[in-house]
Amino acid sequence: MKKITPQKLSKRLVQYGALTTAMIGVTDINGQIKYTDISDVGGPGQGVGIDLDGLDGFNEFFLLHGSNTAGTQGALYLVPFGSNAALGSIAGPYNLTYPFALNNGDIISAGNINWIAQTGTSASLNYQTMNFVSCYGGTGNSNWCGVTDKYLGLRFELSDGTHYGWARLDVDLTSFNWTLYDFAYNETVDAPINAGQTTLSIEDNALSKVRVVALHKSIGLYNLKAATDYKLYNMTGQEVLEGTTNNYDYVIEATTLASGVYIVELGNTESNAIIRKKVVLQ
């Protein structure tokens, strides 16, 4: 197959005219991340609710710290309510649950297989262990042991369907000093979110004037201001293609992918701005 340059793609789009517009089906899904920056909360013996949508007054998750009577040993837990879940693992002889400490940029989506919800009828089994007794000096299964700016990967249900989000915390080695800073979720049902991703105003977004146009299995990127990282995800959140542009106009060739709906994610390497566009490949 001949390589399609930006110039050739532009000419072909002009030739297709109105029919091309109907076929492309591009929808801008940028700006659908609801971000909540709260007053920093947490600490010894504290309990803090996480109300991601902020609409119904109900917490989807709860963070709870406890300690022994002497106050010498502590533990921090995440409690998902109902069918809500966190990314994590089940480990140890008692099959306890341990939420992951994600890095900034990690994708949170239906494509992840390690979703842990309530694992039994006992209420104690719904307590997911983030840091227990200083993580047993590193020999236990806890993941939140002296970490800074790490993220919980969260999945929760609203009346319109399943949503994905994150919450950012610091937790020291002892578990006594911990802080919840902020959280966010994707308002689009079943759509993925990156850990740390927040809503970008159109004025601050270095990619706000970029045009994304799809024709058959080619995706044209126009009005790029600088080198831009791109990733292509299918609708389950799985990354299927990635790369970096080297020109102000650039064409992504996706000839190996099946026809269907995909999400193009563009990231500006200088400002860390991110936008996403939905495209239809035919």
Q: pLDDT (tens digit, 9 = 90+) per residue, 239-267?
A: 899 999 987 889 999 999 999 989 888 87
* Residues 263, 247: Cα–Cα separation, whole Å: 21
The whole-number pLDDT of residue 19 equals 27
Structure confidence by residue, pLDDT tens digits, 150-162 = 999 999 999 989 9
Strands 74-80 and 61-67: antiparallel
Structure tokens at 86: 């966190």
The whole-number pLDDT of residue 199 equals 62
* b/e per residue 150-184 (b: at least 16 CB within 10 A): bbbbbbbeeeeeebbbbbbbbbbebbbebbbeebb
Question: What's the predicted TM-score (pTM) here?
Answer: 0.61
Where along the chain do its domains lie? 6-31+200-281, 34-194
Residues with Cβ within 8 Å of 115's Cβ and at least 6 positions away in sequence, in order, are 85, 86, 87, 155
The whole-number pLDDT of residue 270 equals 65
pLDDT average per 10 residues of sequence, the chain (282 residues): 40 34 34 78 92 84 88 90 93 87 94 82 69 76 94 95 96 94 90 83 58 91 87 86 89 93 80 74 90
The fold adopted by the segment(s) 6-31+200-281 is Immunoglobulin-like (2.60.40)
